[in-house]
Structure 1
């Protein structure tokens, strides 16, 4: 998990745990990514159900 978090967000879990600004930044990135993925899913569903 440590390696994946560092590769994805550029921060290790230990730093994520103790640094509120880093944690907020990572969570904002995750939220943005989730929203984009939901938009892609909606676009694909629209194409499938034409």
Structure 2
């Protein structure tokens, strides 16, 4: 989990847990990524149902 966290967000899990600013940045990026993926799914569904 530590390695994945570091590769994905550039922050180790221990640092993520200690620093609120790091945690907020990671969570903002996760939310942004989630919203982008939802938009991709919507676009694909629209194309399929034409």
Q: TM-score range by the shorter chain?
A: over 0.9
CA RMSD in angstroms, aligned pairs only: 0.2
Task: Mark the runs of 5 or more structure 1 residues left unpaired by the alignment.
Answer: none
CA distance in 2, matches of 1:17, 1:8: 15
Counterpart check, 1:48 vs 2:48: yes
Number of residue equivalences:
50
Deviating 4+ runs (over 2 angstroms): none
Task: Mark the runs of 5 or more structure 2 residues left unpaired by the alignment.
Answer: none
